A and B are shown apart, each in its own frame.
Chain A
């Protein structure tokens, strides 16, 4: 009895405790194997990349951080082998606002602060849509008043505008005007009236076919020839008009893509309830179409902001222009790399945050209601 008992005891199936997976498949080692060394080709690639990184990164780090000069003047920069970040400090105001008078710098600073707040408000969606749109329409006027002067503030001549302020200004005005113009051009391009349609195509296609530089040359050199002699406008405004024209053509194509995505049923339904053309577009078609193409619109805005750097070619000193100009300062010769890297970092932060915002809209999806 006892023996059979022990026998059956021995025969009962008792699973062993689960073994931990081999060390080479889990933890950091497993991760390395999975992601860097799965196969001979990937292993070779990884080793190649690691070698490359060990060659590049240490000198780069010592140049940008450890050997860099953070205080002092041009001479102390020349003595060290690293980057000269004091140069950026010295030229900071020039980079941001150009030759704007120092006593009035608080004005563009305040305007910039307003813009940052407005953008944060948009991204965090603290306001309702109506308030948001009206704020985007009203704030630029306040900013313009601040920067330009008037209403008690002394006027600052536009020839002294420059730096990042000018880049942002040109881009902001460009975006705010070219989006509605793009919508109108896109609607016109889909119009059934032949002359309107061909007029819109005749505006959109040639502009999209040529580089921005030729449009800027046209704005800066040709526009004075087109206008009557008593109606001459300054170079900055002409360049702004050129940027708006250029951008509108691209915006129009983006909007057209959205319009084409709207099913015919929506149009038929809108007509069936008795809406006329404008009511149908404003209340039914455009809200859907624009929401559809919002990510591409953000992409165009980024492109427009990057493109404003071309104004340097027609003689305006924007952010990049100021960076280039300050490398030619005879007291600070030879710090091109620092100026351009700083400039690139600022551009990158602005453009990358805009593109992340675009991606977040894309993820949220086109239909929200």
Chain B
């Protein structure tokens, strides 16, 4: 019997000493937490800092300029923080979608047989992965913003779209009753396509031959919405941004902070996702594709039915990690002034010093988002794993 037996939990003295050591650990943790608590209380009192979440209903007067819901400086701290959380979610959601699209394209480009394309993709991945994200953000923010023109000389790449150093101005959509009609038609079409796929699968299991699903789906998705579009009198109109005084008014504005954050975040994460896609595709042995080819499958079918299902098994777990780090990295918004949760919370800390409550809230929100992502991705991962009979 020795000290090491206690740690490993085996040996003769296991039962008694195990209890002793458990007690000691609990005691130590309790002691440390208690003394931290006492210190904190003393410090808070000495510095005259309030505690508790009472401040959330106090009028904040924070300057926040880019929110999804309307915001006035007279709104409360709690509402401002909520808007920050919404912005974090918004950036994370859009970021994940765009990063996935670009990541898949770049990943496929890396394994392309085209020398030039694969080299360019490698250069992209190696540059983005080996430079800190914050630097990429500063670069996009400072350099791209500086090279954009003054509102008076805005770029006008497409009618109704204006780009200048205050942001990107898009026409804002204004849905009429007909729009909802078309939307319902779209949803209906997708639902019907789903039904067709299901019955085709059933039929193929029974008879060996399915329905021409591709053609039916194409027809449904094009026909139904366009029919609805023709039948309804007015669907949608756009409110264009108009130059008034010193800047554009109206329309939808993508502010430079938002654009820079999205660009940096998406390009950076896409480089990592591209690596997952590449390693996934390369993990599928060449013989698999050759065997499928020998069976007479078409190349699109080989990709869809043989390579991808096996590649996803390797790619999905790594991509889950990249999604969660994208969410965490969206906190870098604070460095370029986009009002996400960390940025708004940081301003609140600066005003009332209630760091513990705010940091606690940050942690709770991030842990929740990441938990949800893990759950969704674990579900997706379970779908693609080998089902052993």
Q: Which residues of chain A (164-215) have a CB below 8 Å from chain B?
A: 191-196, 199, 206, 209-214
Partner of A38, one of B113, B138, B356: B113
Say yes or no: A343-B114 contact (C-beta < 8 A), given A213-B332, A214-B366.
no
Partner of A320, one of B127, B134, B371: B134
A310 to chain B: which residues have CB within 8 Å? 134, 332
B329 to chain A: which residues have CB within 8 Å? 211
Q: How close is B324's CB to chain A, nearest CB, in angstroms? A: 8
Answer whether residue B46 sits at the interface, using C-beta atoms and an 8 A cutoff. yes
B18 near A193: Cβ-Cβ < 8 Å:
yes
Answer whether residue A50 sits at the interface, using C-beta atoms and an 8 A cutoff. yes
Q: How close is A29's CB to chain B, nearest CB, in angstroms? A: 14
Answer whether residue A45 sits at the interface, using C-beta atoms and an 8 A cutoff. yes
B9 near A225: Cβ-Cβ < 8 Å:
no
Partner of A214, one of B120, B135, B331, B370: B331
* Interface of A, helix, strand, loop or mixed by DSSP: helix
Q: How close is B159's CB to chain A, nearest CB, in angstroms? A: 24
B116 to chain A: which residues have CB within 8 Å? 35-36, 45-46, 49-50
Partner of A278, one of B4, B131, B134: B4
Chain A 322-359 near chain B by CB (<8 Å), digits 1 or 0: 00100100000010110011011001100110010000
Interface band, chain B: 35 or more
B5 near A352: Cβ-Cβ < 8 Å:
no
Partner of B25, one of A45, A199, A217, A218: A199
Answer whether residue A103 sits at the interface, using C-beta atoms and an 8 A cutoff. no
Say yes or no: A42-B132 contact (C-beta < 8 A), given A222-B356, A336-B146.
no
Q: How close is A233's CB to chain B, nearest CB, in angstroms? A: 14
Question: How many pairs, one residue from A and one from B, have CB atoms within 8 Å of each other in the complex?
Answer: 174
A306 to chain B: which residues have CB within 8 Å? 130-133
Answer whether residue A229 sits at the interface, using C-beta atoms and an 8 A cutoff. yes
B359 near A320: Cβ-Cβ < 8 Å:
no
A225 near B4: Cβ-Cβ < 8 Å:
no
Q: What is the CA–CA distance of A307 and B331 in the complex, to the nearest angstrom?
A: 13
Answer whether residue B64 sits at the interface, using C-beta atoms and an 8 A cutoff. no
Q: What is the CA–CA distance of A217 and B10 in the complex, to the nearest angstrom?
A: 41
B39 near A225: Cβ-Cβ < 8 Å:
yes
A344 near B370: Cβ-Cβ < 8 Å:
no
B389 to chain A: which residues have CB within 8 Å? none
A352 to chain B: which residues have CB within 8 Å? 126, 130
Q: What is the CA–CA distance of A307 and B44 in the complex, to the nearest angstrom?
A: 31
Answer whether residue B195 sits at the interface, using C-beta atoms and an 8 A cutoff. no
Answer whether residue B334 sits at the interface, using C-beta atoms and an 8 A cutoff. yes
Q: How close is A6's CB to chain B, nearest CB, in angstroms? A: 52
Answer whether residue B143 sits at the interface, using C-beta atoms and an 8 A cutoff. yes
Answer whether residue A288 sits at the interface, using C-beta atoms and an 8 A cutoff. no
A225 to chain B: which residues have CB within 8 Å? 39-40, 43-44, 355-356
Partner of B7, one of A193, A327, A334: A193
Say yes or no: A309-B135 contact (C-beta < 8 A), given A46-B117, A347-B130, A352-B126.
yes
Partner of B363, one of A199, A209, A224, A307: A209
Q: What is the CA–CA distance of A343 and B143 in the complex, to the nearest angstrom?
A: 14
Say yes or no: A210-B362 contact (C-beta < 8 A), given A320-B132, A337-B143, A344-B135.
yes
Q: How close is B5's CB to chain A, nearest CB, in angstroms? A: 7
Say yes or no: A227-B134 contact (C-beta < 8 A), given A191-B8, A213-B331, A313-B335.
no
Answer whether residue B199 sits at the interface, using C-beta atoms and an 8 A cutoff. no
Q: What is the CA–CA distance of A42 and B112 in the complex, to the nearest angstrom?
A: 9
Answer whether residue B312 sits at the interface, using C-beta atoms and an 8 A cutoff. no
A45 near B117: Cβ-Cβ < 8 Å:
yes
Q: What is the CA–CA distance of A221 and B26 in the complex, to the nearest angstrom?
A: 27
Partner of A348, one of B46, B130, B335: B130
Chain B 185-206 near chain A by CB (<8 Å), digits 1 or 0: 0000000000000000000000
Q: Which residues of chain A (41-79) have a CB below 8 Å from chain B?
A: 42, 45-46, 49-50
B138 to chain A: which residues have CB within 8 Å? 320, 324, 336, 340
Q: Nearest residue in B to A220 (C-beta to C-beta)?
A: B355
B2 near A276: Cβ-Cβ < 8 Å:
yes
Answer whether residue B328 sits at the interface, using C-beta atoms and an 8 A cutoff. yes
Say yes or no: A309-B25 contact (C-beta < 8 A), given A211-B366, A226-B39, A278-B4.
no
Answer whether residue B367 sits at the interface, using C-beta atoms and an 8 A cutoff. yes
Say yes or no: A214-B342 contact (C-beta < 8 A), given A49-B120, A340-B138.
yes
Q: Which residues of chain A (279-338) have a CB below 8 Å from chain B?
A: 279, 302, 306-307, 309-310, 312-313, 320, 324, 327, 334, 336-337
Answer whether residue A40 sits at the interface, using C-beta atoms and an 8 A cutoff. no
Q: What is the CA–CA distance of A12 and B335 in the complex, to the nearest angstrom?
A: 85
Chain B 208-247 near chain A by CB (<8 Å), digits 1 or 0: 0000000000000000000000000000000000000000
Q: Which residues of chain B (125-173) have a CB below 8 Å from chain A?
A: 126-127, 129-135, 138-139, 142-143, 146
Q: What is the CA–CA distance of A88 and B127 in the complex, to the nearest angstrom?
A: 21
B132 near A221: Cβ-Cβ < 8 Å:
no
Say yes or no: A229-B4 contact (C-beta < 8 A), given A309-B134, A320-B138, A348-B130.
no
Partner of B22, one of A42, A193, A227: A193
Q: What is the CA–CA distance of A341 and B142 in the complex, to the nearest angstrom?
A: 12
B334 to chain A: which residues have CB within 8 Å? 213, 313
Answer whether residue B21 sits at the interface, using C-beta atoms and an 8 A cutoff. yes
Answer whether residue B349 sits at the interface, using C-beta atoms and an 8 A cutoff. yes
A347 near B43: Cβ-Cβ < 8 Å:
no
B114 near A45: Cβ-Cβ < 8 Å:
yes
Answer whether residue A263 sits at the interface, using C-beta atoms and an 8 A cutoff. no
Say yes or no: A355-B130 contact (C-beta < 8 A), given A210-B328, A276-B5.
yes
Answer whether residue A277 sits at the interface, using C-beta atoms and an 8 A cutoff. yes
A42 to chain B: which residues have CB within 8 Å? 112-114, 117
B5 near A277: Cβ-Cβ < 8 Å:
yes
A206 near B367: Cβ-Cβ < 8 Å:
yes
A209 near B135: Cβ-Cβ < 8 Å:
no
A209 to chain B: which residues have CB within 8 Å? 324, 363, 366-367, 370-371
B114 near A218: Cβ-Cβ < 8 Å:
no
Answer whether residue B29 sits at the interface, using C-beta atoms and an 8 A cutoff. yes
Q: Nearest residue in A to B145 (C-beta to C-beta)?
A: A336
A222 near B362: Cβ-Cβ < 8 Å:
no
Listed from nearest, the 4 A-B pairs whose CB atoms lie closest are A192-B9, A277-B8, A35-B115, A211-B328
Show 18 residue pairs from A and B whose CB-CB distance is below 8 angstroms, ordered by the A residue.
Answer: A35-B115, A36-B114, A42-B113, A45-B116, A45-B117, A192-B8, A209-B370, A211-B329, A217-B346, A222-B356, A225-B356, A226-B40, A278-B4, A306-B132, A307-B132, A310-B134, A336-B143, A336-B146
**A42-B113, A320-B138, A344-B135 given; 4 more Cβ-contact pairs under 8 Å:** A45-B114, A46-B114, A195-B22, A195-B25
